[in-house]
Structure formats: C-alpha cells, structure tokens
Homo-oligomer: A and B are copies of this chain.
Amino acid sequence: MYFSKKDLHFQLFENLQVTELGRFPYFQDHDRETFQMVLDSAEQIATQSLRPHLTDMDRNEPQLVDGKIHVHPAMGDIIRQFAEGGWINATFSYDEGGQQLPSVMHMAAGFIFQSANYSASVYPFLTTGAANLIRTFGSQTLKETFIPNMLSGKWQGTMALTEPDAGSSLADIRTTAHPTDRPGVYKIKGQKIYISCGDHDACDNVIHLMLAKIPGAPLGVKGISLFVVPQKRVPSGEGNDVLTEGIYHKMGYKGAPIAHLMIGSQDGCKGYLVGEPHQGLAYMFQMMNEARIGVGMNAVAIGTAAYYASLDYAKERPQGRKLGEKDLSQPQVPIIKHADVKRMLLFQKAITEGALNLILYCAQLADIAHAGAGKDAEEAALLLDLLTPIAKSYPSEMCCLTTSAAVQVLGGAGYTRDFPVEQYYREARIHPIHEGTTGIHGMDLLGRKVLMKDGIALRLLSKAIVETIHSAEKQEKLRPFSQSLQRYLEKAGALTQHLVAKAPRDPEGFLADASLYLEYLGILVVAWRWLAMGITATESLERENAQSDFLHGKLAAMRYFYEYELVKMDGLGKRLSSLDQVTVEMRQEWF
C-alpha cells in the first residue's frame, strides 16, 4: 500500500464535497461516478506501470551519451499510457480535446501517480504545464503546430527558466532573443540549467517554454519574454541548435533527467514568441502557481508512500515487550505497540493527511476561480493566492521530516537500500528547493500576499477559519479544538499586525523571518483543515459504524496535530514578536 484510497475518498467526497463543482456549467458532466472512475483508472496505471519501476529508476539513473540523455527504458511506454489515458490534457476544454476535469481531481490523480513513483510522474506533468501555456497565451499557429504531439506523448514539454547566474533572481536572466525578419520568430542564444526533462530519448522532440530577453527590453523581470523553443524544428525535424551540454546527477528522484542546455551556440536556434513581448514572467507565473501547489502535492505523495511503508513495517516487526512486561519468555511484540513508534506514525499521518487536505482545498479554489463567476470566483482566487506559498512550502518542508520519521521507524533497516524509505527521504528533499525556495515563498507570503489589496486575502482566510470554528462548536467533543484554534487565530492576527507595522520603516527587519512566518501560518492553516476533517469524521461517526476504525484514526490524528504541532506556534510566535534582529545584524566576517 502506498496511499489510502479510503482517505482520498473521505477527503474529496465527504470533507471537501468536490461533487458540488458540478454546479458550474464547465464541470456539469461530472459526478461522483466519473470522479471515482478517474481515481480508479489512475490507481491502475500507478500500480501496474509506475510502481514496479520505483527502485529500478533510482538505481539506474539517466546518462548523457554522445549529447543525448538516455532514460529508463520503461519511460516511453509510461508516457504513452499517460497520453492515451487522457491525463496530459484532462483539465482542458472539450474543444481542445480535454475532459474538463476539475483541477482538484487531476491533482488527486497526480497524488496517486506521485505516491507510486515520483520520478515517472514528472514527465507528463511538465508537458501539461507547457501545453497549458501555449494554449492560454499562444497564437493559433503555435497551438496547431505544437500541442497535438505534446498531448499524444510524442513530444516532451518543459519550463526553461533557470540560468547559471539566475536562479531565484529571474530578473537577471541573460538568454537573448533577437528578432528576425519573420514576425514572431526570434534567434535565441543563451544557457539554461536544471531543466527537468530538458532532453531524453523517450520522446521524439522536446518543446521548451523558455524565458529570454529581447534586446532593448526594460531591465529586470519586466523585460522578460516567453518563447516556444523546440529541440528539433517542426515539421522538418532538423536540429534547432539546442544542445545538451550536461546532465545533473542528483541525490534523489533520479529517474527524471535534469539537463544543462546550450541554446544557439551555432547561431542556429529559432524561438517563437508566445503572446506579447515582455509579458513572459506574468505568463509563466500563471503556470508556476499551479506548479507550486503541485510541488506541495509531490511532497505529500512521497510522504504518504513513506508513511505506509513504515506502517507496514511497524505492524510486522517484533521487537521488545510492552513496558512493565517482566516475563522474558513471552514473545516480542510488533513495534507498533510502542507509544514512541505510534508517535512517529501519528506524526506522519497528521502531517501528510492534513497537508493533502490543504492542497486539495487549494485546487478546489482554483476550480471555483476558473469555472465560477462574480464575487465567489474572485474571493476564491484571492484566497488561493494567499495560500499558494503555504501549500507549496509547508508540505515540502514537513515531508522532509515525515520521511525522516519513516526511516526512524525502520531503524537500521531504514538506512539500508533494502527498503524504500531511504529513497523517499532523498526524494522529498528537492521540494523545499524547486519552484521557488522556502525563503522565496516566505517573502512572497509576508511581503506580498499578506499585504495585497489592504490585507483582504488574510481577512478572507480568517473568515473561512472562523466559519469552521463555528461549525465545530456544535460538536461538544470538538470544542477543545475549536477553542484552541480560535486562540491561535487571534494570536496570529495580532502578530501579523505587529509585523506589518514594521514594514514601512524597516523592510529588511520585516522580512528577515518571513520563512518562520510561513511556517507559523502553515501550522495554523493545517490545524484549520484538521478541524474541518474532524467535523466530517465526527458527523460520520454519528451516522454509521462501518468505517469507525478509519474515523477514530482521523480523530486521533487531529488530536495529535493539536497536541504536538499546533503548540509549535508558541515558540515561533515568541521569536517573531521579538525585537532582536540578530540575522540582520550578523556580518559576513563574523561567521
């Protein structure tokens, strides 16, 4: 078992009630039955085609041979299966060959793929993102030229942003795009690094969605344009002077290749402008916002697989006896009987299920923002904007710790390559880095999202949390939790006021601990999602007893989160309120 279908159904259908999305015309053909089919068919591909290669892809990583990256031989088939199943463009409109699937269901299916084999899931995900950019901002010609072969899995899509001197600082990219005499066609020249799936032999062509600067453009991010840059020209198939200069060997998710690309070094690379000049970053950010929630999901998926691997082990592995058992002739008990092991398992359960709920909630907001109208859609978009850095970073940071707990449950065995948990531990570590580091997202949250439109998004969040608190108050058993959340919500409000007051006179001090503020608000938000799940579980328990083990487990995980995680806000809050600016005042020469 690498994920829980029961939990996924509980979260989607009982807690979030995603079938209500059917009220929007765009989603009107969908209902619980079609949604369950989506999950079932995702599980089938995941179990039959992705899962069997999990270990093998880690042990046989991609290699660069004579300028071409060779990936695991199973990848060609896997990509074709994703394409044939309609996964690459499932969320696209019927007109575009899609299924108008809500994003929340696409995310849920992605969760299953990623839990099964994160590396393999990356390829189609990137193609979806790239195709999505072309269909949203590209000309009719670009769409017709590139999208069909991307959706069929024949061609790989990528996001080509990072350069040797421009990682977090996209303002500093140096790749140039010189106009040619053909409108919309540019000569591209530069270097891109860390390009996921930037070259490989499981597809016939690679379509890069690449950021570059047109000469004379404004400095900084306002001068960045977006181009389609194919590896091979279309339809001729001849080379487009996009050369694979190197491959990065990584600590984890080794099944997906990361390339270093030289573009136009022979002066022969053609790129095609997407949309208007100088709008590239705005376009890219639309996709990056989705990708960011997606990264949070990747982290949760890996954390979930690790949780179930350690749970299985804990049930089977006999070691030690219950405290107080003096009779040593008694057999040893499975380690799941020890409170400290249950603590490590509950930690994983509380973090992964809570974070999963937050991400699905965000995806549902994206669906409402997209398919809804008026104030509802607007508010959903604002709330999503605020929650995106949290939905990206909280799971990314925390699932480094949950996979570590999985390793710890297995003990010495967990450190060996005989079990998958060490692989999960290595794979989880990428997520606080890619699609914006945690530090960048902290500044995005506190420096931009909290302040935007006079703090309206934070008020919307506060309102949503208060509504959940009111619902929970109807259940006597939940009152200690709703009261606790109320207290922390008030503290968070006061702390935010305190910080924001600092912003005008001391911008550096204001943002110095933005990463801590991100963690602080992340805990609050996940506690809220746990209370929402607690309400659903309590109501279900009153109705029926069939699933009661599952529901009791839910309530125990909520208790765990409130007892062990929510209280971390105390220390974080104390630090965030402090006037000592040691990180600002620290000097390079003092290290």
Contacts and interface: CB of A to CB of B under 8 A. Distances in A.
Contacts of A324: 507-508
B220 A328 contact: yes
Interface in A291-320: 311, 315, 318-320
Given A165-B318, A582-B560, A250 B416 contact: yes
Contacts of A432: 408
B430 A411 contact: no
A168 B165 CA distance: 49
Nearest to A508: B323
Interface in A156-215: 162, 165, 167-169, 171-172, 193-194
Contacts of A418: 248-249
A563 B590 contact: no
Nearest to A331: B172
A282 interface: no
A588 B312 CA distance: 11
A342 interface: yes
A374 interface: no
Contacts of A430: 415
A568 B520 CA distance: 13
Range, interface on chain A? 35 or more
B589 A320 contact: no
Contacts of A433: 407-408, 411-412, 414-415
A238 interface: no
Given A342-B586, A582-B560, A319 B591 contact: no
Given A251-B415, A412-B162, A328 B171 contact: yes
Contact of A408 (B438, B512, B585): B438
Contact of A346 (B248, B337, B404, B583): B583
Interface stretch (A77-85, A106-114, A421-429): A421-429
A19 interface: no
Contacts of A340: 439, 442-443, 512, 514-515, 583
A574 interface: yes
A2 to B, nearest CB: 15
Nearest to A437: B411
Contact of A332 (B165, B338, B572, B582): B165
B320 A169 contact: yes
B426 A412 contact: no
- Number of copies of this chain in the oligomer? 2
Contact of A349 (B343, B437, B550, B591): B591
A589 B549 contact: yes
Interface stretch (A34-42, A87-95, A225-233, A551-559): A551-559
A49 to B, nearest CB: 26
Nearest to A345: B591
Nearest to A422: B251
A590 B552 contact: yes
A558 to B, nearest CB: 9
Given A248-B416, A248-B417, 17 more contacts: A165-B318, A167-B319, A169-B332, A219-B329, A249-B416, A315-B588, A338-B439, A340-B443, A340-B512, A341-B439, A342-B586, A408-B439, A415-B429, A425-B429, A553-B586, A556-B585, A570-B570
22 contacts: A165-B318, A167-B319, A249-B416, A250-B416, A251-B425, A252-B415, A336-B588, A340-B442, A340-B443, A340-B512, A342-B584, A343-B513, A346-B583, A400-B404, A407-B429, A408-B438, A549-B589, A560-B583, A563-B578, A563-B580, A569-B571, A570-B571
Interface of A: 162, 165, 167-169, 171-172, 193-194, 219-220, 248-252, 258, 311, 315, 318-324, 328-329, 332, 334, 336-343, 345-346, 349, 400, 404, 407-408, 411-412, 414-418, 422, 425-426, 429-430, 432-434, 437-439, 442-443, 507-508, 511-516, 549-550, 552-553, 556, 559-560, 563-564, 567-572, 574-575, 578, 580, 582-591
